[in-house]
Amino acid sequence: MHYPEQLKYVKTHEWIRFLDETTAQIGITDYAQDTLGDLVFVNLPEEGDEVTAGEAFGDVESVKAASDVISPVSGRVKSVNIELADNPGAINEDAYGAWFITVDNITDTDELFDAEAYAALVEEEKSRT
Amino acid sequence: MSELKTPLYEAHMALGGKIVPFAGYLMPVQYPAGVIAEHMAVREKAGLFDVSHMGEILFKGPDATANLQTLLTNDFSSMPLNKARYSVMCNEEGGCVDDLIVYKYSDEAYFIVVNAANKDKDFAWMQSHCFGKATCTDISDTVGLLALQGPAARTILSKVTDAAMLPTSYFTANFHGEIEGKTCMISRTGYTGESGYELYLAAEDTVAIWNLLLEAGKEEGLIPCGLGARDTLRLEAAMPLYGHEMDDTISPLEAGLDFAVKLQKAEFIGKKGILAKGKHRTRVGLKVTGKGIIREHMDLYADNILVGHTTSGTFAPYLNHPLGMALVDVAYSEPGTGMEADVRGRRVACQVVSLPFYKTSNK
């Protein structure tokens, strides 16, 4: 399980890669993909959709379960990684390469954690289950 | 009450199994390979499952056969020795108490395998209906059960036991098998839709045989498999699961288990109830034609009319598309019938298809 230093994280297990101050890529963390297991379906928003920090913008499904993907930021969907729809397994292979959406015009963000703080949060969550 | 552990709990932990509570036991849902890889191993090579949580009940005595004839929906009057037979056990109303497999050891002794989640309920039901010269005993805690499934199962098992001891036809068993000096019952059965064996062992021998098989099967690509793959495999093969395709309120005929219900038998518990219920709804297979994955308990609509609900659903790894089973109004049960599933508020298009979804060519 690894959490790259250059990314930010939220407690609902998404990562954020800021491309500039108001533009960022979003995906789910290595811990999230490992917990879900083999992913087989991704439901993505469309370009131009508005997303809101703390609210679901899509969902992922593994063989066993479905899970919402929560937006860590508020803004507008600039682009969508439609390749994920054809190959959800790419998320299991490389959680940080498999971005879901790029959001621009970011006006608000959820509480962000750096890699170290997020790793601690994951450890705490694991010890509870 | 805290969860129970099978004799293999430590082995599952050592193999990196992801442990979840299931039917009162701590069981591996998957190993590091993942559900898809485990599923494919069983379809193409071989997989080994710990299913020691299942329940085993012995029925003995001169009236044992008469008891089974009354308790169960299938016919046991002319059953050959060493044969296995699938049956349903019904309540008076014609709903299913459980589905199970009966092995015939002798004219006066039967070995019955029941679902883990139902074993206490089943045993209490059997005991309360037991009559004449017959006894039933719950021996679950003394039995370990391994399922070795897949096209390479026979080759692997032949490495650790005399191949002549292996039962050759489907749904037969050898009560006097032996692996590495340990006595076991070897049964040509399974819950994957693939050819394979189930090994009933003394609880204390289970770990040794598990390790022996994993080692012996390395060359053939044998891997340990968890309950996740067990569920996707049975679903792809359209095998019903208690609590999903059947329960206390669903009759075996509604569940499409007609082959195991012998209505021509004079009398059995549930016969009147089954007939009274009739067949207004039935189990069907659904293939998703839209985008999404169907799961259990999703409402189904045809022409915006509620026509039933899904009972199981997943992404089928070998067939490589989402599918499910459902209980629908018989008027909407013909293959080719289109309907929509309510997937968390989103409508996903499905089509009724004939069952099973998958049938192996390696029998």
B6: tokens are: 């099978």
Closest CB to A63 among B292, B315, B344? B315
The CA-atom distances, in angstroms, between B57 and each of B110, B124, B137, B172 are 8, 11, 6, 18
| Residues from chain B contacting residue A63 (CB–CB below 8 Å) | 35-36, 228, 232, 314-315, 317
**Cβ contact, residue pair B314, A92, below 8 Å:** no
A55-79 CB burial, b ≥16 within 10 A, e <16: eebbbbbbbbebbebbbbbbbbbbe
| Residues from chain A contacting residue B35 (CB–CB below 8 Å) | 37-38, 62-64
CA distance B223 to A34: 19
| pLDDT at residue A1, as a whole number | 86
The CA-atom distances, in angstroms, between A30 and each of A4, A87, B229, B349 are 10, 17, 22, 32
Q: Confidence band (pLDDT; 50, 70, 90) for B266?
A: confident
Helix (H) or strand (E) holding A91: helix A89-93
End-to-end CA distance of chain B: 42
Report the pLDDT averaged over residues B331-336: 98
Query: Is the per-residue pLDDT at B320 higher than 80?
Result: yes
CA distance B36 to B19: 17
Given CB atoms, is B192 within the 8 Å cutoff of chain A? no
Percent of chain B with pLDDT over 70: 99
Closest CB to A38 among B36, B231, B344? B36
- Domain residue extents for chain A: 23-107
| Residues from chain B contacting residue A58 (CB–CB below 8 Å) | none
Q: How big is the A-B interface in CB pairs under 8 Å? A: 41
CATH fold of B56-140: Alpha-Beta Plaits (3.30.70)
| pLDDT at residue B5, as a whole number | 94
| Residues from chain A contacting residue B3 (CB–CB below 8 Å) | none
**Cβ contact, residue pair A63, B228, below 8 Å:** yes
Q: For the domain with range B4-51+141-236, which CATH number is right: 1.10.1040.10, 3.90.550.10, 3.30.1360.120, 3.80.30.20?
A: 3.30.1360.120
Q: Are strands A14-20 and A23-28 parallel, antiparallel or unpaired?
A: antiparallel
pTM metric for this prediction: 0.93
B300: tokens are: 């189904």
Residues 207-266 of B with CB under 8 A from A: 228, 231-232
Q: In what order do the strands lie in the sheet with A8-9?
A: A8-9, A14-20, A23-28, A101-109, A73-80, A50-51
Residues of chain A that touch chain B, judged by Cβ-Cβ distance less than 8 Å: 37-38, 40-41, 43, 59, 61-64, 66, 92
With left for phi above 0 and alpha for psi between -120 and 50, is residue B278 left, alpha or beta?
left
Q: Are B10 and B17 in contact (CB under 8 A)?
A: no
CA distance A82 to B265: 59
A22 Cα to chain B: minimum distance (Å): 32
Q: Name the one residue in this structure whose structure tokens are 């039995």.
A: B143
ipTM of this complex prediction, to 2 decimal places: 0.84
3-state secondary structure of B45: coil
Helix (H) or strand (E) holding B300: strand B299-302
- Chain segment A67-121, per-residue pLDDT in tens: 999 999 999 999 999 999 999 999 999 999 999 999 999 999 999 999 999 999 9
- Domain residue extents for chain B: 4-51+141-236, 56-140, 280-353
Given CB atoms, is B29 within the 8 Å cutoff of chain A? yes
- Chain segment B84-143, per-residue pLDDT in tens: 999 999 999 999 999 999 999 999 999 999 999 999 999 999 999 999 999 999 999 999
- Chain segment B230-251, per-residue pLDDT in tens: 999 999 999 999 999 999 999 9
E strand intervals along B37-172: 47-50, 55-60, 84-90, 96-106, 109-114, 135-138, 143-149
Mutate to test the interface with A, among B293, B310, B320, B348 (most CBs of A within 10 A): B293
| pLDDT at residue B157, as a whole number | 97
B333: tokens are: 């049960």
| Architecture of the domain made up of A23-107 | Beta Barrel (2.40)
Q: Are A66 and A42 in contact (CB under 8 A)?
A: no
| Residues from chain B contacting residue A43 (CB–CB below 8 Å) | 291-292
- Chain segment B22-79, per-residue pLDDT in tens: 999 999 999 999 999 999 999 999 999 999 999 999 999 999 999 999 999 999 999 9
B186: tokens are: 């070897």
| Residue B325: closest CA among B286, B280, B279 | B286
Query: Is the per-residue pLDDT at B258 higher than 90?
Result: yes
Closest CB to A40 among B37, B293, B295? B293
Closest CB to A63 among B36, B291, B344? B36
Does domain B280-353 fall under CATH 3.40.47.10? My reply is no
Q: Are B56 and B203 in contact (CB under 8 A)?
A: no
B50: tokens are: 């710990």
